[in-house]
Structure 1
Amino acid sequence: MSYCLLVQNASVPDQQGLATIAVSDGRIDSIALDSDPVPELDPNSMSSDADESTATATVIDADGGLVAAGFIDPHVHLDKAYIAPDLPPNESGTLAEAISSIHNRKADYTLEDVRDRAIRGIEAHVRNGCTRIRTHVDVDTIGGLTPLEGVLAAREACSGIADVEIVAFPQEGILQDDGTADLLERALESGADLVGGMPDNERTDADRREHVDICLDLADRYGVGVDMHVDETDDPAARSLEYLAAEVIDRGFDRPVTAGHTCALAAYDDPHAARVIDLVAEAGLTVITNPPTNLLLQGRHDGHPKRRGITRVDELVDSGVTVAAGQDCLLDGFYPYGRASMLETALLTAHAAQLTTPAERRLAWNFVTANAATVLGCDHGLEPGAPATFNVFPSEVESRHEAIRRGRSPRWVVHEGSVVAETELESTVHR
């Protein structure tokens, strides 16, 4: 059989020796030890000025470097990416001031402005080995559908290098931002893939519960999943996660439901936290933690000792809940950093959740790969039959642990069988 792409001399996770990975029709055909016969290249895959001996565009020598399935960012905000230079400083450093400071900038969004910044964010992800992204996009009466239209345009422009899912996200609330419920419907009809939510941005507990109900009703009506910002607060009285999980159970809701942030879970007393985690597990919710942002925003005004600001990662995992980790923000009003690096996200998560043993370090990797794939419901892995979406790391990176420790971006990024990013730099430059 002939192949269109070969990666030779590859270190493959959980396999001894170097291997050759053969790709055809966007999928992995085989992974064989380099001592086995080398598959034959397909001449039809070469450029017109190449022959079989010079088809360098279709052969990659990994030189002993790690080859692993690609990264996935399950939670980012591409519509807000890179707007921090246009905003007044967040002097308090709080979530509330960040939301407020964005209002004027959001009102001035244009389709071109959002598209260009979102493309920049997608391309930054791709350079760092992440070609599958789920982005939340503000849908409210301030920006209308302009953020969605801009991100839809960016998704189309980048369709050859990345897959982007869009969550219609009511950042400003639904009940207290009259008109947003209708905009959410229009967003779903215009190309958004999931219903988002932010019940904490409502005035009363009753309104927060109704916010959750509206989101689940919309998802049911349009046959889509739910990915909601839930209890992104230090308030130990926050109860949106508990209500969401119970409502999913009571309704028999059978669409995928993801709860993002869930910071208040860390503020609960242990018995109540255990009850809520049991509900989350029973409901089959997946959870996304976002340490890059929440380590800075949450617990900011605590005395000492300060809380870590992220959810109870260890207890959720021990209860069988699928947990993933997201970049969340890229140089916006919430977070003045962000490099679209899932390696950095994994490293920050490992620090915040204290993941040090070999099994825990593997978990940190899975938070931005296999577990994130479960959240998105996408095919993922480095095995025959899987999509040929993988990263080829520099030769000094021979393992997943070394990739996280060194923070080195891949030399080559392959998405569905095509090389979509390549760098010859000796040291990684994040953009």
Structure 2
Amino acid sequence: MIIHDVHIENASEHMDVRIEKGTFQQFAPAIEPHEGEEVIDGQGGVLIPPFVDPHVHLDAALTAGDPEWNETGTLFDGIRIWYERKKTLTVQDVKDRALHTLRMMARNGIQYVRSHVDVTDPGLTALHALLEVREQVAPFMTLQLVAFPQEGILSFPHGKELMEEAVKEGADVVGGIPHYEFTSEYGRESLRFLMDLAQRNDRLVDVHCDEIDDPASRNLETLATLAYESGMADRVTASHTTAMGSYNDAYAYKLFRLLRMSGINFVSNPLVNMHLGGRFDTYPKRRGLTRVKELNEAGINVAFGEDDIQDPWSPLGAGNMLDVVRMGLYAAQIMGYRQIMDAYRFVTYNGAATLHIAPEDYGIAVDKPANGVVLNAPNFYHALNENAETLYSIRGGKVIVRTKAKETSTAF
């Protein structure tokens, strides 16, 4: 296969790309096709690696308004509403909504997803459903599943046992929510438990950490210390960390030294963090976002996720990472031209590192797997401005998504 006429990762030159046996094999200004070789027209679009959504909740997707709408817009009301909705879950219900959501995401060029799955359910209904979905979508999507204790590990009956069982049944990643545990002591103990569970079972870690506008919520320092002392390092991810936006600068300065030493990843969810954060403030009103710009400038890996897609925490969501990047850049004030051009990395390379995808298995280079997306714009700046379509999503050298560029006519 030849992809004709693309700009590779914002390069100004027009290039052709040859794919053979599922890998990228040649990049040149003009490549003569072999007899019978398929040629697809990139239409001068930008070719980037596939989008990665490193943080979403597929078990809750598409449940907004059922059994009620979250009119206060708080994290805590979202958890309360989900608690009621969770009582009616069936395997088929979760599978249907998750598959619909993943297909929607695939149409927007997403090929890698990490989904948190609520395991504070004695029947582990959602986990069983998503384990089936993980296999079903494998031809077009790599799906990682996080054993996520929405109502706590120590603060929920048999929480530890449910986490153990979820890992035993096939969860890829061990999660946690220390700031929602009954006490700070429980929070720290839950982190020690989940890190040990991950090490014993050779799993990754991704913790909902300090998702609260409370400067006293400091579970991140414990998680980073455990990652450092255990050597787990970049196998560990701290998601949200919105309390960091409320920390004083003296403490943050000290903390950043530990974060760099630990090697952990961060995931910020700009759409939902901006929606849920600052809800208990009048004015001045906090943004509800972690220190994205500072983490990035410190060389700490930070990725963007969508988090919620039409569920009790967010009534909106379209499975489109361009929406996520746009909000992230505005909210974090990362709006220089070069910053915007490079911002695709938050939802490609940085997300891939968070999912612990080997560098040799991701990216646009000779001998790497031929996975990529062509956006209908010459570079990422224009793609973001124009909300560009995904003209092609290519996986293993095969086109899995094709979109016709929209045509608009005017009478003026």
Q: TM-score, normalised by structure 1?
A: 0.91
The verdict on how the C-alpha distance between 1:181 and 1:427 changes in structure 2, with shifts beyond 3 A counting, is farther
1:148 matched to 2:122? no
Q: Which one of 290, 303, 308 corresponds to residue 282 of structure 2?
A: 303
2:407 and 2:118 map into 1 onto residues whose CA distance is: 36
CA offsets, 1:352-378, max 9 Å, x none? 111111332134211001111111122
1:105 to 73, 81, 85: 85
* 2:87 pairs with 1:91: no
How far has the Cα of 1:427 moved from its partner? Answer: 6.7
CA distance in structure 2 between the aligned counterparts of 1:427 and 1:222, rounded to whole angstroms:
52
- Confirm or deny that 1:339 pairs with 2:318: yes
Asked if the contact 1:20/1:38 (under 8 Å) is kept, the reply is no
CA distance in 2, matches of 1:190, 1:423: 38
Cα offset, 1:274, TM superposition: 1.6
| Secondary structure in structure 1 of the residue aligned to 2:390 | coil
Q: 1:40 aligns with which of 34, 43, 50?
A: 34
Q: How far, CA to CA, are the matches of 1:366 and 1:87 in structure 2?
A: 37
Distance in 2 (alpha carbons) for counterparts of 1:270 and 1:17: 43
1:66 Cα deviation (Å)?
1.6
1:387 — aligned with what?
369
**What is the alpha-carbon distance in structure 1 between the residues aligned to residue 245 and residue 61 of structure 2?**
28
Give the Cα separation in 2 of the matches to 1:332 and 1:14.
35
CA distance in 2, matches of 1:347, 1:386: 29
State the AA in 2 paired with 1:38. E
- Corresponding residue number in structure 2 for 1:221: 200
SS in 2 for 1:103: helix
The answer on 1:82 being equivalent to 2:62 is: yes
Whichever residue aligns with residue 373 of structure 1, its letter is A
Alignment of 1:360-371 (within 5 A): 360-371=339-350
Which residue identity lines up with residue 380 of structure 1 in the other structure? Answer: Y
Map Cα deviations across residues 200-246 of structure 1 (whole Å, 9 max, x no partner). 11111110000101110100110111011000000110011011112
Aligned counterparts of 2:10 and 2:325: Cα–Cα separation in 1? 19
Q: Which residue of 1 aligns with 2:47?
A: 67
Cα offset, 1:425, TM superposition: 5.0
**Amino acid in structure 1 at the alignment position of 2:165:** R
State the superposition RMSD in angstroms: 1.6
1:108 is paired with a residue of what secondary structure? coil
Question: What's the CA shift for 1:318?
Answer: 2.2
Match of 2:328 among 341, 349, 353: 349
Gaps of 5+ in 1: 42-51
Q: Give how far 1:14 is off.
A: 4.6
Deviation, structure 1 residue 249? 2.4
Q: Does the 8 A contact of 2:305 with 2:347 survive in 1?
A: yes
Match of 1:290 in 2: 269
Flag the 1:349–1:126 CA change in 2: closer, same or farther, 3 A.
same
Contact 1:72 1:132 in 2 (8 A): yes
Describe the SS at the equivalent of 2:59.
helix
Amino acid at match of 1:220: Q
CA contact (8 A) 1:90 1:333 kept: yes
Structure 2 unaligned spans of 5+: none
Rate the CA distance shift 1:129–1:427 in 2: closer, same or farther, 3 A: farther
Partner of 2:260: 281
C-alpha contact 2:23 2:367 (8 A) present in aligned 1: yes
2:4 paired with 1:24: no
| Mapped contact 2:33–2:39 kept (Cα < 8 A) | no
Give SS of 2:399's match.
strand
The equivalent of 1:181 in structure 2 is 160
User: Secondary structure of the residue that 1:215 maps to in structure 2?
Assistant: helix
Once residues 13 and 65 of structure 1 are traced to their aligned partners in structure 2, the CA distance between those partners, rounded to angstroms, is: 10
* Partners of 2:233 and 2:262 within 8 A in 1: no
Q: Give SS of 1:294's match.
A: helix
Asked whether the equivalents of residues 234 and 264 of structure 2 are also in contact (C-alpha less than 8 Å), the reply is no
My pick for the range that moved more, 97-106 or 384-393, is 384-393
Alignment of 1:111-126 (within 5 A): 111-126=91-106
Number of residue pairs aligned between Structure 1 and Structure 2: 405
Distance 1:252 1:411 in 2: 42
**Secondary structure, counterpart of 2:40 in structure 1:** strand
Contact 1:127 1:409 (8 Å CA) reproduced: no
Amino acid at match of 2:11: Q
User: What secondary structure does 2:222 align onto?
Assistant: helix
- Structure 1 residue aligned with 2:7: 11
- For the residue of structure 2 that corresponds to 1:66, the secondary structure is strand
Letter of the 1:115 counterpart: K
How many Å apart are 1:13 and its aligned residue?
2.6
The answer to whether the Cα contact below 8 Å between 1:278 and 1:319 also exists between their aligned partners in 2 is no
Matched residues in 2 for 1:347 and 1:16: separation? 22
Q: Alignment identity in percent?
A: 37
Counterpart of 2:5, as a letter, is N
